Amino acid sequence: MAQAGLFITFEGSEGCGKSTQIRRLADFLLSLKREVVVLREPGGTPIGESIRNLLQYDESAGAMTPEAELLLFAASRAQLVREIIRPALARGAVVLCDRFLDSTTVYQGVARALDASEVRVINEFAVGETLPDLTFLLDLDAAEGRRRASARKGPSDRMEQENESFYEAVRQGYLKLVAEHSGRFALIDASLDEESVELSIKNVLMERFQIQGGVHGIH
C-alpha cells in the first residue's frame, strides 16, 4: 500500500530558526526511508526563484507597493503548488516548506495592513485545495528575532530591514492564526536551544501522525 503524502510548513518571523529545523526534520524523515522534498517561499521553481530575487534583492523593489508584493508572493506560490507540491504529495513524499500562505496572511494582511478578506481570496486562488497538514509556528520575541537576523552572514533582504514594530505585528498576527486554526498549527518556543526545538517538533509529529522509528516511517 502506497504511503500518503504529508505537507508540513514552517512559519515565524525573521531569525526564528526555520531553516535549521527544516534541515533537522528532513534528516530525521530521510532516516525513516521517506522521500522528502524541501522547499522555500518565495521560490522553489525557476519562476519562483526569479520572483524571490525581485522581492528581496532587486534595487527596484524599494518602490514596490504592498498590493504588488502580495500578488508576487501569490504568483510564486501558485506555480510552486502546481509544479512541485501536488506531484510530490501524489507520489507519497513528505513536503517541508519554509513559509506558505500563512506568511502572506500575516506579513501582507497584518503587518502591511492590506484588507484581510482580499488577502484571503488571493491566497485561496493561489493554493486551491492544497493546504498544509501541519504548520509549525516557531515563536520568538520580536527583538530577539531582529538580533538573530542581523547576526546572519550575507546581504539582508527587504523583510529583514523592517523595524521592530513591523516584527511585533508579524508575531501577533501569527499568534492570532494559531488561536484561530489550532487544529493545524503547533506552537513551538523558538527561544530554546536548537536541540530542544527539534525535540518539540518531533514530539508533535509523533503525537499527530504516529511516527515510528526504524524503517516504518509515517503511518
Residue 214 lies in a domain: no
Residue 164 lies in a domain: yes
pLDDT tens per residue across all 219 residues of the chain:
567 899 999 999 988 999 999 999 999 999 999 999 999 999 999 999 999 999 998 989 889 999 999 999 999 999 999 999 999 999 999 999 999 999 999 999 999 999 999 999 999 999 999 999 999 999 999 888 878 877 776 666 656 667 778 889 999 999 999 999 999 999 999 999 999 999 999 999 999 987 665 333 444
Predicted pLDDT at 145 = 80
Residue 91 lies in a domain: yes
Reading the block at residue 141, the C-alpha cell is 520575541
Q: Domain range holding 56?
A: 6-209
Predicted pLDDT at 45 = 98
Residue 219 lies in a domain: no
Q: Quote the pTM value.
A: 0.91
Predicted pLDDT at 212 = 60
Residue 44 lies in a domain: yes
Residue 189 lies in a domain: yes
Residue 156 lies in a domain: yes
How many structural domains are present in the chain?
1
CATH number of the domain within which 128 lies: 3.40.50.300
Residue 26 lies in a domain: yes
